[in-house]
Amino acid sequence: MELDRMDENDWKYHGEGNKSLVVSHVQHCRVLRLLKYPAEDSENPPQTAEQAFRQIQNIVDFTSNVMSCLLGEKFVHSGEVVRLPLEFVRQLSIKIQHQRPAWRCDKVMDIYSGCALCLPNLTSPTLHQPTPTPPLCIEIKPKCGFLPSPKHVSKDIKTRVCRYCMHQHYKVANGKWKRRSLYCPLDLFSGNRQRMHFAIRHLIEEPQNNLKVFKGGQCIYSSKEGSDESPDTNSLLHHLRPYFLRGNNRVNGHMTTKAVLNDFIQVLGNALLSAAGGDGGQVTDRTGEGRSFCEASLFNRERIRHGSQGLPTNNILSRILQTQMLDSLDIEGLYPLYCRVEQHLQDFPKDRTGLQIDGPYDQNFLEKVQKCSMEDDGSVEYAAAKVHQYRIAMTAKDCSIMVTLVPSGEEEDDDEDLSSQKRLRDFRPQAFSSSVSVLDLDPKPLDSVPRQLRLDQKIVSCYLRTGGTLP
Ligand code: ATP
Ligand code: ZN
Ligand code: MG
Ligand code: MG
């Protein structure tokens, strides 16, 4: 990619979140991730080009020095900051504008700084050999997978119903979504096959912004905010059918829609549980603590058979969960420590740098976080370290997992010694090679802490008012 000879015709709209807009290259496996601003600031950008550059460099540093160590290097791509010609960025913004969903247009793409984050395109992996069907990528935004400890929360309901499920009621009450999703993150993070299956099925039924499916780099399945219609599951299954028919048609040429869906969910579950090197021991079994089951989940507890497995270590789900659990005090327990930091910064503004409140996100920052003692010694250093931990946990609660499924090119094993039943069982999981990455690992600013406390209070009181009575 030659940065001085950029042509907007080589790039196309790929997707966006709340904070950034992503365009992908039409040939190379690259994306550019650009910042977004509130539309009312479109005439005068809220920050200078140098500040925008710093912000993106902070994202790169935070991703590579902090999140990558906690989540595992092999899952994380930190990318690099690039400076683009302003004319290119302006033309690009005009070109893609009509493809943006209307409900995202309260923000505009940053056309002033010329800075962007350049990343590998995780939805169109480089292939080493041709595949019978294009790669499938499934993006899951899993959200928080554990319940807070009763020690720190003022409302008992928070120890029984998870944040995601309570937030669903709030979002439906406020019209953000028309229907509540029956997905519960605690089911996904359980490591129990049946609960994971249940969770993924409900992600598919009501994807909201927690699930997207890409085929050959194109998004083929997602939700539209505020829309009355559910996304077209039949169209998704139509896309998926050829991927799952192959392994099966020898035994039975016909495959029901339900079977396609079940196979898809099974392959996705396998990919999420596959370990990434190291030992695959099982430690994260939190069933005993009573903090791994959400009362709002419709999964029937009795269906969990005896000896249900916990979450094996070293896979992506357990790494994300452990990082989320750096939020050990809950927002309610953390808030007084945040206030201690804020008060100190008002008295000694210069300490902002030494406490690394806005970075730099370097080795030293990670050490502060990892060496933080359990005991509060009343110091501002302790308070700042707990706030850092909380912010890292927030990033882990907001990230997305990208699962790439590459159909294997090889033909079925023709070993006649195998019974067709055995061949069927063995074949299906091998029909794909999978890889997993994590994306969207931006650091959260300090002022997100008081905002989180207010939101938490609103969500909990809304749930206590309406909980369980909504459809
Ligand atoms: P959020 O609102 O979730 O915080 P965000 O504004 O921080 O989102 P991202 O989630 O990083 O933005 O990116 C928006 C979307 O662009 C993602 O959901 C994903 O579909 C797509 N995307 C981002 N990075 C990549 C990548 N490296 N490869 C392919 N697609 C990507
Ligand atoms: Zn839940
Ligand atoms: Mg995102
Ligand atoms: Mg984000």
Top-level class of domain 8-120: alpha beta
99 CB burial (10 A radius; 0-12, 13-18, 19+): exposed
Centre of ligand 2 from the C-alpha of residue 259, in Å:
27
Centre of ligand 3 from the C-alpha of residue 298, in Å:
26
Ligand at minimal distance from the CA of 291 is 2
Q: Can you give the pLDDT at residue 128? A: 78
Centre of ligand 1 from the C-alpha of residue 395, in Å:
13
Residues facing residue 80 across a β-bridge: 118
What is the atom index within ligand 1 of the atom nearest the CA of 437?
27
User: Probe ligand 1: pick from 20, 29, 404, max atoms within 8 Å of CB?
Assistant: 20
Centre of ligand 3 from the C-alpha of residue 409, in Å:
32
Centre of ligand 3 from the C-alpha of residue 17, in Å:
5
Centre of ligand 4 from the C-alpha of residue 339, in Å:
25
Contact 69, 366 (CB under 8 A): yes
Q: Taking Cα atoms as reference points, which of 204, 208, 272, 191 lies closest to residue 239? A: 204
In a 3-state reduction of DSSP, which class is residue 292?
coil
Q: Taking Cα atoms as reference points, which of 203, 202, 204, 199 lies closest to residue 189? A: 199
Centre of ligand 2 from the C-alpha of residue 286, in Å:
15
Please state, rounded to an integer, the average pLDDT across all residues of the chain. Answer: 88
What is the atom index within ligand 1 of the atom nearest the CA of 122?
28
Q: Quick check: 67 pLDDT over 50?
A: yes
The DSSP code sequence of 212-228 is EEEETTEEEE---TT-S
Q: pLDDT of 395-441, one tens digit each?
A: 999 999 999 999 886 544 444 444 444 444 444 445 889 999 999 99
Q: Can you give the pLDDT at residue 469? A: 61
What is the atom index within ligand 1 of the atom nearest the CA of 20?
6
Residue ID of nearest Cα to ligand 1 atom 11: 440
Query: Which residues have CB atoms below 5 A from the ion given as ligand 2?
Result: 162, 165, 184, 294, 296
Mean per-residue pLDDT, 363-392: 94
CA 463, CA 441: separation in Å to the nearest integer?
A: 29
Residue 137 pLDDT level (bands cut at 50, 70, 90): very high
Q: Can you give the pLDDT at residue 253? A: 56
Of the listed ranges 93-97, 133-137, 254-258, 467-471, the least confidently predicted one is 467-471
Centre of ligand 4 from the C-alpha of residue 260, in Å:
32
Residue ID of nearest Cα to ligand 1 atom 3: 17
The more confidently predicted of residues 130 and 150 is: 150
ipTM over 0.90: yes
Q: Quick check: 288 pLDDT over 50?
A: no
Query: Which residues have CB atoms below 5 A from the ion given as ligand 4?
Result: 19, 440
Mean per-residue pLDDT, 118-147: 92
Centre of ligand 1 from the C-alpha of residue 219, in Å:
12
CA 117, CA 81: separation in Å to the nearest integer?
A: 5
Q: pLDDT of 330-351, one tens digit each?
A: 999 999 999 999 999 999 999 9
Ligand at minimal distance from the CA of 16 is 1
Centre of ligand 1 from the C-alpha of residue 17, in Å:
6
Q: Quick check: 268 pLDDT over 50?
A: yes
Centre of ligand 1 from the C-alpha of residue 372, in Å:
31
What is the atom index within ligand 1 of the atom nearest the CA of 121?
28
Q: Can you give the pLDDT at residue 424? A: 47
CA 120, CA 126: separation in Å to the nearest integer?
A: 10
What is the atom index within ligand 1 of the atom nearest the CA of 21?
14
User: Probe ligand 1: pick from 11, 13, 16, 436, max atoms within 8 Å of CB?
Assistant: 16
Tokens 């016909």 belong to 254
Contact 330, 148 (CB under 8 A): yes
What is the atom index within ligand 1 of the atom nearest the CA of 119?
27
The DSSP code sequence of 423-469 is HHHHHHHHTEEEEEEEE--PPPPTTHHHHHHHHHHHHHHHHHHHTTT
CA 120, CA 29: separation in Å to the nearest integer?
A: 6
Ligand at minimal distance from the CA of 183 is 2
Q: Can you give the pLDDT at residue 159? A: 95
What residues line ligand 1, using a CB cutoff of 6 Å?
14-20, 22, 31, 33, 119-123, 139, 212, 398, 400, 439-440, 442
In a 3-state reduction of DSSP, which class is residue 142?
coil
Residue ID of nearest Cα to ligand 1 atom 7: 19
Residue 63 pLDDT level (bands cut at 50, 70, 90): very high
Domain ranges of the chain: 8-120, 136-325+396-466
